[in-house]
Amino acid sequence: MAASNSIFTISPSGNVARISLNQSLSPPLSLPLNRSSSVALRPKPRSSSLVLCSTDESKITAEKEIPIELRYEAFPTVMDINQIREILPHRFPFLLVDRVIEYTPGVSAVAIKNVTINDNFFPGHFPERPIMPGVLMVEAMAQVGGIVMLQPEVGGSKSNFFFAGIDKVRFRKPVIAGDTLVMRMTLVKMQKRFGIAKMEGKAYVGNTVVCEGEFLMAMGKEE
């Protein structure tokens, strides 16, 4: 039987094709496989973005599973309002410190004032845009300073104290209803002989400084 000069191929679609052996092979069959073509045949690595997306989704899911009362940290209580009232002579509507959250005897105190729409100064300041008056922010900070300077650790007595001066006061941002004013007062110098204290203070809402300044206060004498 004579050798055939043709071969038959069957395509994936089922069609039969005849190829003559006398014809030159198609160029793709004679091309050598180079490195670039072999790399192209390798499977593509998985996209890392899919992994990150999955991680973010799992993080969000985990946060949703945390109870709301445990999701946000509460301010600690070093002195509550009753202890504050035992130190400061101020009373409603002029007691502007709600809680002491940090206290270093004879050095500093950090306290908070919860600013609410029910504060009695908001109806007049201002009716359409409730903003805490800057002078009351300074007063609240001075009361925090009073908690430090009226304590026995600095030779203070639980009596009245008064402003002797304020310097370099700056108001950086308005404080509105709903904010929590966090105030830090640090004792810089205490002249026990004259009953004069110099203090530095900063007030924050979140991570933003809203007020800062230097304070001079004089202690009153016990009657």
CB 197 within 8 A of CB 208: no
Region of 14 please: left (phi>0), alpha (psi -120 to 50) or beta: left
The edge-to-edge listing of strands for the beta sheet with 208-219 is 99-104, 108-114, 180-191, 196-205, 208-219, 161-171
Q: Which of 125, 129, 158, 192 is catalytic?
A: 125
Alpha carbon distance 179, 122 (integer Å): 13
125 carries an active-site annotation: yes
3-class DSSP state of 196: strand
Alpha carbon distance 168, 213 (integer Å): 5
CB 113 within 8 A of CB 97: yes
What positions carry a catalytic annotation? 125
